[in-house]
Structure 1
Amino acid sequence: METLKIDRVSVAHNNRLAIKEVSLSVKEGEIIGFIGADGAGKSSLMHAIAGVIRFEGEISFQGVSYRSPAEAEKLKSIIGLMPQGIGLVLYDLLTVEEHLRFFSNIRDIREDEKFSQYKQRLLKMAGLDRFVDRRAGNLSGGMMQKLSLICTLLHRPKLLILDEPTTGVDPLSRIELWEILDQIRKEEGTIVLVSTAYMQEAARMDRVLLFDNGEIIAQGHANELIESVRDMAYTLTSASDLLSMSTLDTTYSLEPLDAEHKEPTLEALFFVNALQKNRLLPLIEITPRDGNNGFSSVVMEAIGLTKKFGDFIANDRVDIRLCRGEILGLLGANGAGKTTFIKMLLGLLPMDGGELNLLGKRIETTWDRQTLKSSIGYVSQHFALYNDMTVRENLLYFASMHQIPMDIALRRIARYADELGFEGYLHAIPTELPLGINQRFSLAAALLHEPVILFLDEPTSGVDAIARAQFWQLLVALKEKWKIAILITTHYMSEAEFCDRIVLMRDGSKVADETISDFYQMHPNAQTFEDIFLEYYR
C-alpha cells in the first residue's frame, strides 16, 4: 500500500535550487536509500519530507497532505528525523538513560510498563543496555549514532528519516544499526528513508535513488543499478583517454577500452554519471616542497604506549612504527582507541606509560613535542576550522600560527587552492562548503607548514565517492612527491587497500600489523578487506 507520496517537490536555499520538482512514491515497510555527491540535494529533500523546511509542491503521508512546515505539524507525532552528524541531537553531559527520559518527555510519551519494555528492547538491540549511566560525551561514535537512533525511535514513528546515520561508524556497528532498522520496518511497518556514503549498505535497501544536481537521475535495486554500469568499469590502465576517468584502482569509460573489465560496485554510478555530465576528475599535481628535511627513515615509534581514564584502559601497551614515504592505516571499531592514540602522539593527551619517539627525538615533556610542531600536520575527526572566518582567512590564521612569512603563506595558499581545487571557495565560510571541499581545505591547512608527518583522523567520513577518490590520489601524490609519512584512520574498508600497511586495534590493543597482501594471504576466503576486518571483531 502506498503511504508516502512526494509530488513535484522543490527546495531552494538562498535563491539556489537544491531540489527540482522531485516526485516519488513509497510503500509501507520499504527502506529507500538516497545516494549522491555532496550538495546533490539529498538532505534538502529529507528535511522537506520531515516538514522542517519550506518547499514547493505537495507531500502526503497516510492520506494527509501538507505543503509547508506548518501543515506538517499534524503528522510530527508519527515522523522521526535523525539529522546528519555524529551525536548532533545528543548532549555531552547527559547519560544514556537521561537522554531517553528527555526525548520521551519532549514527545509527551506516557511512561507506563509497555513503554518501559519497549525502551529496554531498544537499548538491548542497540547494545547500550550496559551503558545507561554513561554520559554521551564518553561514548564512541558508533554508540552515539545508536543512541541517536533509538531516541528517534522512542515514539514509534511510522516514517523514519535518517540522514547519513552510519557516517563515522565502524563496519560492525553499521551492521547492528541495519539490523535495528530491518527489525523495526518489519514489526512496525515503518517507512525508512536513509542517505548513506557507504555503498555496501545499498544491498539492504528495497530501492536506491541516485541524486545529482537536485534531481533523481537513476533508481532501482542495487543489483540493477550496478548492472547498468558493468560494461564501463575496467582494471586500471595507463590509457590517457579523454572519455575515461581513473581512481587508484579502476578506470571508468563511456567508450570501449583495450583493458579487462572489473567487477563494479555501486560507487561506479558516481563516476559514470560524472563522465556523462563531462565532469572529469582533474589531475592531482603536487609541486615539490619549498624545503628539504634530513630526518631518518623511522619518523614515529611508539613502544608500549598506554593511556588510562580512571580504571578504563583506552590504549594498552601499543607498539606502532611509521616510516617516511609510508601510508599507515589505523583501523578498528568505534572505541578501539584509535583517536586516543593519535591524541597522545600529538600531545593532546598525556601518556600514562610507554615510550614515544618522534622524528628521532624521545618525547618526555610537552616542550619536547613543542619543538617538533613545525614538522607535524593534523586533520582532526571533526574539522577544526573557524566558521566565522572565510577559507582564505582560516588559512592565513593557520599560517601565522606556524610563523610562515606572509609572502610565502600567500604563495602556498594560492598554490594549494589551485592544486586541491577549492580556488572558487576562498571567500566562503566553512559551513557553506560541501564536505569534500571542506576536507581539501582542511588538508591544505595541515600542509601549509610542509610537515614531515601527517596524522589524519577519519578525514573522509561522510564524503562522496568522487571526493574520496580525489583525496586518496592526493595522499598518494604527497607520499611519492614529498616522501611524507601518513597515519590515517578510516571506516571505509575499501580505503584500506590504498595503505602500505594496516594496524588493527581492538579494545585498546593492537591485534594485527600487516601489509594488505599479507592480510589476504592469512585470510584466503576473504573477498574484501571488510570481510577480514569483521573476522577480528566478531
Structure 2
Amino acid sequence: METVVPVEACGLVKRFATRGGTPLVALDEVSLRIPAGRLSALVGPDGAGKTTLLRLIAGLMKADGGQLRVLGLDVGAEPQAVQDRISYMPQKFGLYEDLTIQENLDLYADLHGVEPGQRKERFARLLEMTDLSRFTGRLAGQLSGGMKQKLGLACTLVRSPDLLLLDEPTVGVDPLSRRELWQIIEQLIEQERLSVLISTAYMDEAQRCAQVFVLYQGNLIAEGTPEDLSERAKDLCYGIEPAAGVPARTLQARLIDDREHIVDAVPHGGQVRFIRSGHASLEEIPSLHGEQAAQPLAARLEDGFMVLLREHASDQGQPSPQAPADEPGGEEELESERRPIIEVRDLVRKFGDFTAVASTSFKVFKGEIFGLLGPNGAGKTTTFRMLCGLLPASSGHLEVAGVNLRSARAAARRRIGYVSQKFSLYGNLSVQENLEFFGGAYGLFGGRLKARLDTVLRQFELQGQRNDRSGDLPGGYKQRLAMAVALLHEPDILFLDEPTSGIDPLARRAFWRQITELAAAGTTVVITTHFMEEAEYCDRIVIQDAGRLLALGTPEEVRRQGGEQASDMDSAFIAVVERSRARLGMAAG
C-alpha cells in the first residue's frame, strides 16, 4: 500500500493585512514535501514564516494561494477532517494551571473525544514517557517550565495522531529538560512510526532530524538532510584560542565585525569558532593577524545555516556591528574596576515552608557579564528578581549599585535596566510611543528624552520601525526594542531575563555583539539563560539547583568542574547538576 505523504505544499502563499495597507507576505510560493514516519524540521530567522506554515498545516488559517494537502486531504476544504487526525502543540500551549496534571490530561482527552476504554493505557504510557507519574496530583501552575512542556506534549498526544506538529517545544527550558523532551519525541517516532514536523531555533535540535527545511522571509531557500546543509560550510570552519587574558567574546566581536572575510563567529568551549568566506584564505584575513594559529573544524548544520543566511540576508534590518571599545588598561584602572557593584551574602528566599533560594553568596564586578544558570525551578529566577528589586529577600545581605536593597529598593531600581523574558512592551503602541512612555517613567523629558530616543533607535537599528506597532514586530525586533527601552536612562546595571529565548542564531549574534559593546564601555550585565552557548560570553557564571549554588567561576572553571567529558557548557551544565542530584538523591524535574 502506498504511503500517504503527511504534508505536500505547492506554491503556497499567505498574506496578512497591515496598518500601512501594504500586505505582509508571510509565505511566498512555498513548495515542499514532508517525509512519512520521520522527523523533519523548519528553521529560519524570526519572521521567516515557520509558525504561519504550521498553522496552515493544522487548518487554523487558510492559504491565499497554492495547494496544501495534509494526510492526502485538502486542508483548505476539509480543515476539521485534518484536525481530527493530527496533533498540534503551539509555542504557548494552553495548560489549565488550576487543574492537576491528571485533570489536564482528562480535559484534553474529553476535548479530543478519546474513548474511556483507551485512556488508561494511553495515560500510563504518556506519564511514564514524561516521568510525570509521581506528580499526577500536582497543580499544573506549580510545575517547573520543563515539566509544563512535558505535560503540554502529553496533553497533545492524548490521542495517537497520524501527524504531530510542534512549534518550538523546547523554548525556555533548560538542557536537562530539552534532552528529556527529545528522548520522548524520538521514542514516539521509533515506536509509532509517527510523522513529526518541528520548528526550532536551536540548530543542534534540527541536526537530529531526517530532513531540514530552511525558510527566509517567506521563501524556502534550502532543504535537505543535516549533512547536505552542513556541506555548504565544508572546509570553511575553524577554531582559534583567544590570547591569555582576552575574553572569547572580545575576539569573537573582532572577527564577526569583519564582514568581508568572516561569515560567522561564536565562542565555544573556550575557543572562538568561526567560518571564513569562501573567497578568502586564512592568511588574507586581517582580523586574524597577530592571533594564534586557527585549527580546522568539521562543519555542523549551524555552520551551513549561517552560510545560507549570510548569502540571503541584506544589511537592511541587521544591527550594524561596531568596533569593540578598548579593554580597560593600566593596573590602577583595573583595580578601581574590581569593586563589586553587586554583593550577595547568605541570601535566602522562602515561600511559606518552601525555600526557593538557600544561603547564596557571590559578588558581581563593574563591567562584568555575569550569568545565572540552572534547571527550570532551580531558584535562579527568584535570585534574579531579588537582585532587580522586584522581590524582597527573606534574609541575608543584598547590595546593588551601592544601595542596600532590603532598605532602599526604589533608589537601586533607578540605576538598573531590566529586560524581561516576555518583553514588557505595549503591543498597541508604536516603537516610538513605547520609548516615549518608558522614557517618561524613567524621568526623561524634553530634549534629554529626544536625544536618548534618537540614540537608542540608531544603536538598535530601529529607525525604520519607529512608527510600527510593537505588537506586530517579529521576535528579534521586539528584543531590540526591549533592549532600547531598558537602556534609555543609561543604567549602571542591565538585567536580562532569558532575552534570546526562541530567537534564531543570526539574531543572537547581533544581540551579543551589542552586549559585548556595553560591557566594554563599563555597563554591568546580569543574564539568565537556558542557551548554554551564551554562557561562553560571560566572565563568570553560577549554576543553581533546588535553591543551592552548585558552581561559581569562569566558563573554563565550570567546564573543568563538569569533568573530562564536559567539552562545552551544555555537557558541563548537565554533569554538574546530575552529580549534585545524585549526591542528594533528587529526582530530575
Which interval holds the TM-score relative to the shorter structure? over 0.9
Q: Superposition pairs for residues 213-362 of structure 1, below 5 Å?
A: 213-235=217-239, 240=258, 242=260, 244-248=262-266, 249=272, 250-258=274-282, 260=294, 261-277=296-312, 279-280=314-315, 282-285=319-322, 297-362=339-404
Question: For residues 525 and 68 of structure 2, what CA distance do their matches in structure 1 show?
Answer: 48
* 1:48 has 2:85 as partner: no
146, 153, 160: which one aligns with 2:150: 146
Counterpart residue identity of residue 69, structure 2: S
* SS of the residue 1:372 aligns to: helix
**Partner residue of 1:107 out of 105, 112, 123:** 112
Aligned mates of 1:389, 1:310 — CA distance in 2? 39
Q: In 2, distance between residues paired with 1:2 and 1:537?
A: 44
| CA 1:278–1:165: 2 relative to 1, 3 Å | closer
Instruction: State the match for 2:78 in structure 1.
Output: 71
- Given candidates 485, 488, 494, the residue that maps to 2:524 is 485
Deviation at residue 245 of structure 1 after TM alignment: 3.7
Alignment partner, residue 504 of structure 1: 543
**Structure 1, residues 459-493: CA drift from partner, whole Å, max 9, x if none?**
00000101100111111100001x11111111111
Q: Which has the higher mean CA deviation after the structures are superposed, 312-321 or 219-228?
A: 219-228
Q: Taking structure 1 as reference, are residues 256 and 448 closer, same or farther at Cα in structure 2, changes over 3 Å only?
A: same
Deviations 1:150-197 (A, max 9, x none): 111112111110110011111111111111111112222221000111
Q: Could you give the per-residue CA deviations for residues 338-368 of structure 1, whole angstroms, max 9, x where no partner exists?
A: 1111112223222112211122233323xx0
- What do the CA deviations read for 1:90-124 (whole angstroms, capped 9, x no partner)? 23323322221221111122223x31221122123
Separation in 2, partners of 1:241, 1:57: 38
The one of 28, 31, 35 aligned to 1:27:
35
For residues 365-401 of structure 1, the C-alpha deviation after alignment (integer angstroms, 9 at most, x for no partner) is 3xx0111221011111211111121111111111111
- Pick the aligned partner of 1:11 from 14, 22, 37: 14
3-state DSSP of counterpart to 1:395:
helix
Kindly report which structure 2 residues correspond to 1:431-442, keeping only aligned pairs within 5 A, or say none.
431-442=471-482
Cα distance between partner residues in 1 of 2:313 and 2:397: 52
Distance of aligned partners of 1:7 and 1:361 in 2 relative to their CA distance in 1, 3 Å threshold: closer
Distance 1:240 1:536, change over 3 A: closer
Q: CA, structure 1 residues 180+284, in 2 after alignment: closer, same or farther (shift >3 Å)?
A: same
2:582 matched residue in structure 1: none
Task: Pick closer, same or farther for the CA change 1:428–1:278 going to 2, 3 Å.
Answer: closer
The answer to whether the 8 A contact 1:4-1:59 is kept is no
Query: Partners in 1 of 2:469 and 2:265 — Cα distance?
Result: 29
1:55-102 C-alpha deviation (Å, 9 max, x unpaired): 133333443x2151x5121121111111123xx412332332222122
SS of match in other structure, 2:558: helix
CA RMSD of aligned residues (A): 2.2
Aligned to 2:485: 445
| Stretch moving more, 470-479 or 74-83 | 74-83
Higher mean displacement: 349-358 or 123-132? 123-132
1:284–1:420 CA contact under 8 A, matched in 2: no
- TM-score by length of structure 1 reads 0.92
Question: Which of residues 120, 128, 131 is equivalent to 1:127?
Answer: 131
Contact 1:104 1:154 in 2 (8 A): yes
Query: Which residue, 495, 512, 515 being the options, matches 1:472?
Result: 512
Say if 1:418 and 1:254 are closer, same or farther in 2 by CA, change over 3 A. Answer: farther
2:369 and 2:538 in contact (8 A); partners too: yes
Measure how far apart 1:525 and its partner are: 3.2
Over 3 Å counting, the alpha-carbon distance change for 1:500 and 1:296 in structure 2 is closer
Output the CA distance in 1 between the equivalents of 2:338 and 2:437: 31
Q: How many pairs are equivalent?
A: 525
Conservation of the 8 A alpha-carbon contact between 1:233 and 1:253 = no
Following TM superposition, by how much is the alpha carbon of 1:223 offset from its aligned partner in structure 2, in angstroms? 2.6
Match of 1:59 among 68, 88, 113: 68
Whole-angstrom CA distance in 1 between matches of 2:132 and 2:228? 37
Change (3 A) 1:47 1:314: same
| Structure 2 partner of 1:392 | 432
3-state SS, counterpart of residue 336 of structure 1: coil
Q: Deviation at 1:435? A: 0.9
How much does 1:246 deviate?
Answer: 4.4
Q: Percent identity?
A: 37
Query: Any idea what SS the aligned residue of 2:282 has?
Result: coil
Q: Is the 8 A contact 2:38 2:196 kept in 1?
A: yes
How far does the alpha carbon of each residue in 1:384-424 deviate from its partner, in whole angstroms, 9 at most, with x for none?
A: 11112111111111111111122211211111111111221
Report if aligned partners of 2:71, 2:82 keep a CA contact under 8 Å in 1. no
Q: Summarize the Cα distance change of 1:413–1:137 in structure 2 as closer, same or farther, 3 Å threshold.
A: farther
Instruction: Show the counterpart of 1:405.
Output: 445
Deviations 1:192-251 (A, max 9, x none): 000111111123211111111222222222233223212333456759463534445424
Hey, what's the Cα distance between the residues in 2 that align with 1:418 and 1:270?
28
